[in-house]
Amino acid sequence: EDPVGNGHEEKENNPFAEYMWMENEEDFNRQVEEELQEQEFLDRCFQEMLEEEDQDWFIPARDLPQGMGQLQQQLHGLSVGDGHGSEDILSKSNLNPDAKEFVPGVKY
Protein backbone atom coordinates (compact mmCIF):
# COMPACT_ATOMS: atom_id res chain seq x y z
CA GLU A 1 0.00 0.00 0.00
CA ASP A 2 1.16 3.50 -0.67
CA PRO A 3 2.34 5.56 2.26
CA VAL A 4 0.47 8.76 2.99
CA GLY A 5 2.22 12.15 2.88
CA ASN A 6 3.43 11.97 6.50
CA GLY A 7 5.42 8.80 5.82
CA HIS A 8 3.09 6.49 7.78
CA GLU A 9 0.72 3.96 6.37
CA GLU A 10 -2.99 4.65 6.71
CA LYS A 11 -3.58 1.42 8.66
CA GLU A 12 -1.10 2.33 11.41
CA ASN A 13 -3.11 3.01 14.57
CA ASN A 14 -0.77 5.49 16.27
CA PRO A 15 1.44 7.68 14.11
CA PHE A 16 3.49 8.57 17.20
CA ALA A 17 4.29 4.96 18.17
CA GLU A 18 8.02 5.43 17.67
CA TYR A 19 8.00 8.28 20.23
CA MET A 20 6.00 6.46 22.92
CA TRP A 21 9.18 5.58 24.86
CA MET A 22 9.33 9.26 25.85
CA GLU A 23 6.15 8.79 27.88
CA ASN A 24 8.11 6.85 30.54
CA GLU A 25 11.31 8.88 30.26
CA GLU A 26 11.20 10.02 33.91
CA ASP A 27 10.86 6.43 35.15
CA PHE A 28 13.71 5.36 32.89
CA ASN A 29 15.93 8.21 34.15
CA ARG A 30 15.10 7.36 37.77
CA GLN A 31 15.97 3.70 37.19
CA VAL A 32 19.30 4.60 35.54
CA GLU A 33 20.14 6.98 38.42
CA GLU A 34 19.40 4.24 40.97
CA GLU A 35 21.64 1.81 39.10
CA LEU A 36 24.45 4.38 38.96
CA GLN A 37 24.11 5.11 42.70
CA GLU A 38 24.14 1.40 43.48
CA GLN A 39 27.28 0.91 41.37
CA GLU A 40 28.96 3.87 43.10
CA PHE A 41 28.04 2.41 46.50
CA LEU A 42 29.47 -0.99 45.54
CA ASP A 43 32.68 0.66 44.29
CA ARG A 44 33.07 2.55 47.60
CA CYS A 45 32.48 -0.64 49.63
CA PHE A 46 35.01 -2.54 47.53
CA GLN A 47 37.59 0.24 47.97
CA GLU A 48 37.03 0.25 51.76
CA MET A 49 37.44 -3.53 51.83
CA LEU A 50 40.77 -3.25 49.97
CA GLU A 51 41.98 -0.55 52.38
CA GLU A 52 41.06 -2.71 55.39
CA GLU A 53 42.87 -5.66 53.83
CA ASP A 54 45.98 -3.52 53.30
CA GLN A 55 45.97 -2.61 56.99
CA ASP A 56 45.99 -6.31 57.91
CA TRP A 57 49.11 -7.05 55.85
CA PHE A 58 52.49 -6.72 57.57
CA ILE A 59 54.69 -4.41 55.53
CA PRO A 60 58.09 -3.98 57.28
CA ALA A 61 58.88 -0.61 55.71
CA ARG A 62 55.59 0.76 56.97
CA ASP A 63 54.96 -1.21 60.16
CA LEU A 64 58.40 -1.45 61.82
CA PRO A 65 59.94 1.44 63.77
CA GLN A 66 62.74 3.35 61.99
CA GLY A 67 65.59 1.66 63.93
CA MET A 68 64.30 -1.76 62.93
CA GLY A 69 65.35 -1.16 59.33
CA GLN A 70 69.03 -1.25 60.31
CA LEU A 71 68.49 -4.39 62.39
CA GLN A 72 66.73 -6.00 59.46
CA GLN A 73 69.66 -5.16 57.16
CA GLN A 74 72.08 -6.65 59.68
CA LEU A 75 69.99 -9.82 59.85
CA HIS A 76 70.09 -10.13 56.07
CA GLY A 77 73.89 -9.81 56.25
CA LEU A 78 74.22 -12.83 58.54
CA SER A 79 75.03 -16.19 57.02
CA VAL A 80 75.24 -19.74 58.26
CA GLY A 81 78.76 -21.11 58.77
CA ASP A 82 80.37 -22.88 55.84
CA GLY A 83 81.53 -25.88 57.88
CA HIS A 84 85.15 -24.85 58.62
CA GLY A 85 84.40 -24.26 62.32
CA SER A 86 82.46 -27.50 62.77
CA GLU A 87 85.54 -29.51 63.86
CA ASP A 88 85.99 -27.13 66.79
CA ILE A 89 82.37 -27.66 67.84
CA LEU A 90 82.69 -31.45 67.56
CA SER A 91 85.78 -31.55 69.77
CA LYS A 92 83.90 -29.74 72.55
CA SER A 93 80.71 -31.82 72.21
CA ASN A 94 79.46 -34.06 75.04
CA LEU A 95 77.36 -36.21 72.69
CA ASN A 96 78.00 -39.95 72.32
CA PRO A 97 79.27 -40.59 68.78
CA ASP A 98 78.30 -44.30 69.09
CA ALA A 99 74.66 -43.60 69.98
CA LYS A 100 71.86 -44.79 67.71
CA GLU A 101 70.33 -42.25 65.39
CA PHE A 102 67.32 -40.53 66.93
CA VAL A 103 64.07 -41.23 65.12
CA PRO A 104 60.98 -39.45 66.49
CA GLY A 105 58.24 -41.82 67.68
CA VAL A 106 60.51 -44.90 67.86
CA LYS A 107 61.17 -46.35 71.31
CA TYR A 108 64.52 -48.13 71.93
Q: How does pLDDT run across 59-103, given as a tens digit for each residue?
A: 766 777 666 667 777 777 776 666 566 667 777 778 887 888 888
pLDDT of residue 10: 52
- pTM check: above 0.75: no
Backbone conformation region of residue 95, classed left if phi is above 0, alpha if psi is from -120 to 50, else beta: beta
In the predicted model, what is the mean pLDDT of residues 6-31? 76
**CA quadruple 6, 23, 25, 20: dihedral, nearest 10:** -40
Q: Specify the higher pLDDT residue, 5 or 21.
A: 21
The pLDDT-based confidence of 2 (bands split at 50, 70, 90) is very low
